[in-house]
Structure 1
Amino acid sequence: MSVKHYKPSKYLSPYIDRYFVCSQTKSLPLILPGTGLEVLFHIGTPLSIDNKKLDVAHVICPREKLIFDSANNVNYIAVRFHSGGFRHFTSIPHAQIVNQYLSVEEIWQNEGKELLDILFSLPSVEEKIKLIDFFLCNQLKKHHFSDIVNWDLVIKTLYKNFNSISLHELAHQSNLSYRQFERIFKQKFGVSPKKFQRITRLQKTVKQVLLSSNKHYLSTALDNGYYDQSHFIREFQSFTKLKPSEYFVTKNFENHFYYRPLS
């Protein structure tokens, strides 16, 4: 896999982690449940899932494991959003995006179509990324809104402190009953706060293990709040239908989508 990373403009950096260009001549790795979202712009033949070809540009927002069909010569530009960030770029409810593959045209209608028409006429990747960045800046200006509750802070706090934060305390800090907090959180982010917390724990554990290139995962799992090995195995299997020992193998250490922060 060949991957090149680009920083978003300063205006977008609170919401977008990075742009990256992926080129690969073998199948993409298993995608585990995550907390973020990506928009993919395919350069060449789009990917497919269960023999159904995806659109040339589309969202992926996996809260369940995801397996793309085998493909050769994969090549695309991805926009990786921070957790909860994408909701400021569209009026579509997050519940309609989670585990779906909405196209750029479905999300942004004629503006999305115009973006793609121009995008695929540009000769260089850098020009394409510059256009995507400009387009997203305009969508942010159009769709960004402020809530009475600072939900950006809520999800950032939960993401960074998943191992120590009490959801009931987070609800109290938001001046909401827990039932209100749970209901609104799910409306805005497509999953319950508890499930988000569980996915974050799993995601961070897997990322740390893969980036350390150490197949002995137990100490990392314990550091991230799992009670013991059995607890981690149960959680891993509930999200992936795999045992950790089946996932932490050489091919997955060499082929995955977990990256270190951009400097």
Structure 2
Amino acid sequence: MTSIAYKTIQPDNAIKAFVENFWCLHNNSDEDKEMIILPDGRVDLTLFKADAEPLQIIRSGIETYPDRVILKARTLIFSISFKLTAVEYIFKNSIAEYLDYAEFLPHDYWSFNENDLKDFDSFYLKASNKIKELIPKDVDNRKQKLFDLIYATNGAITVQEISEKVSWSARQINRYFNQRFGISLKTYCKIIRFRSSFQHIKDGKLFPEENFSDQSHFIKEVKKLSGVSPKDLRINKNDRFIQFSTLRSK
């Protein structure tokens, strides 16, 4: 992606239970860039600005299908990718109504402003400090363990297995997921398992490695969540699948 600059920073230990990473994306060219955003199970808080346009801040809900977007010329994006634990304990609300959608936030949300887009490292420090201020003293151990299991297994775990390990009924867990995130736990695990296959596909491993039942099941799930076959996803014509374009081949 010669016209697109991309960088990530990993969170420090104090916030890693709530934050996956910080990332920035810059369209350096004078042309708009068409991209497809794939479902990845994250909740992003994003600051973005195109030339001669005001700062915009949005927070995404969970995505369940590929979303075609246009990255305008000379647009700069700074974003925080949150784990689902942040929804209840950092944002302290529900994102169920924003499934496959994004919420526009006030231009001064968390005291952000256009100057915060001048330096990514400074943005990372300011955002990290704000998140640390918002972390509550008490976090439900069942919920923390639940999310730890999902991310540690890359979603390759059943609802029943999680229920037994965290001592929380499957019915209560699904009610929590639907009310808080607008999606069932089973569906969310499928998205996380799909995301975990990105690197394998990028490296040319077009076969299941994350507990898919067989090759047919793998292809079906990839097509459902990306709109294309694993082979087409790997080819990534015109770098349109942005999450693949930012991965490094091993």
TM-score, normalised via structure 1 length: 0.76
* Match among 28, 32, 36 for residue 38 of structure 2: 32
- Residue 123 (structure 2) aligns with: 128
- Residue 169 (structure 2) aligns with: 177
Deviation at 1:151, TM superposition (A): 0.8
Instruction: Give secondary structure in 1 for the equivalent of 2:67.
Output: coil
Instruction: After TM superposition, list the pairs within 5 Å mapping 1:165-244 onto structure 2.
Output: 165-210=157-202, 212=203, 214=204, 216-218=205-207, 221=208, 223-244=209-230
Question: Are the equivalent residues in 1 in contact too, given 2:49–2:55 (CA < 8 A)?
Answer: no
Deviation at 1:83, TM superposition (A): 4.0
* Match among 132, 137, 154 for residue 137 of structure 1: 132
Compare the two structures and name the one with the higher strand fraction.
2
Query: 2:126 & 2:18 partners in 1: Cα distance?
Result: 17
Instruction: Give secondary structure in 2 for the equivalent of 1:67.
Output: strand
Instruction: Give secondary structure in 1 for the equivalent of 2:81.
Output: strand
Question: Are the equivalent residues in 1 in contact too, given 2:37–2:241 (CA < 8 A)?
Answer: no
Instruction: Give secondary structure in 2 for the equivalent of 1:102.
Output: strand
- CA 1:157–1:260 in 2, change beyond 3 Å: closer, same or farther? farther
Question: Are the equivalent residues in 1 in contact too, given 2:160–2:170 (CA < 8 A)?
Answer: yes
> 1:240 corresponds to which letter in structure 2?
S
Task: Please provide the CA RMSD for this pair.
Answer: 3.1
Instruction: Give secondary structure in 1 for the equivalent of 2:37.
Output: coil
Instruction: Give secondary structure in 2 for the equivalent of 1:171.
Output: helix
Deviation at 1:164, TM superposition (A): 5.2
Query: 1:37 & 1:183 partners in 2: Cα distance?
Result: 19
User: Is 1:68–2:69 an aligned residue pair?
Assistant: yes
Question: Are the equivalent residues in 2 in contact too, given 1:46–1:56 (CA < 8 A)?
Answer: no
Query: 2:200 & 2:45 partners in 1: Cα distance?
Result: 24
Query: 2:134 & 2:67 partners in 1: Cα distance?
Result: 28
- CA 1:45–1:134 in 2, change beyond 3 Å: closer, same or farther? farther
Deviation at 1:260, TM superposition (A): 7.0
- Residue 51 (structure 1) aligns with: none
Q: How many pairs are equivalent?
A: 239
Gaps of 5+ in 2: none
- CA 1:175–1:68 in 2, change beyond 3 Å: closer, same or farther? same
Q: For residues 179-199 of structure 1, give each alpha carbon's deviation from its aligned partner in whole angstroms, at most 9, with x where no partner exists.
A: 222212333343211101211
Instruction: Give secondary structure in 2 for the equivalent of 1:138.
Output: helix
Identity %: 14
Instruction: After TM superposition, list the pairs within 5 Å mapping 1:19-98 onto structure 2.
Output: 19-24=22-27, 25=29, 27=33, 29-44=35-50, 56-61=56-61, 62-69=63-70, 71-98=72-99
Query: 1:81 & 1:182 partners in 2: Cα distance?
Result: 20
Deviation at 1:111, TM superposition (A): 6.6
Query: Which one is further off, 16-25 or 250-259?
Result: 250-259
Deviation at 1:246, TM superposition (A): 3.0
- CA 1:252–1:84 in 2, change beyond 3 Å: closer, same or farther? farther
- Residue 245 (structure 1) aligns with: 231
Deviation at 1:28, TM superposition (A): 5.2
Deviation at 1:82, TM superposition (A): 2.6
Gaps of 5+ in 1: 48-53
Query: 1:239 & 1:94 partners in 2: Cα distance?
Result: 20
> 1:115 corresponds to which letter in structure 2?
S
Q: Which runs of 4+ in 1 moved over 6 A?
A: none
Query: 2:52 & 2:60 partners in 1: Cα distance?
Result: 13
Query: 1:181 & 1:6 partners in 2: Cα distance?
Result: 32
Q: For residues 61-88 of structure 1, give each alpha carbon's deviation from its aligned partner in whole angstroms, at most 9, with x where no partner exists.
A: 3232211125222311111123433432
Question: Are the equivalent residues in 2 in contact too, given 1:29–1:252 (CA < 8 A)?
Answer: no
Query: Which one is further off, 31-40 or 19-28?
Result: 19-28
> 1:120 corresponds to which letter in structure 2?
E
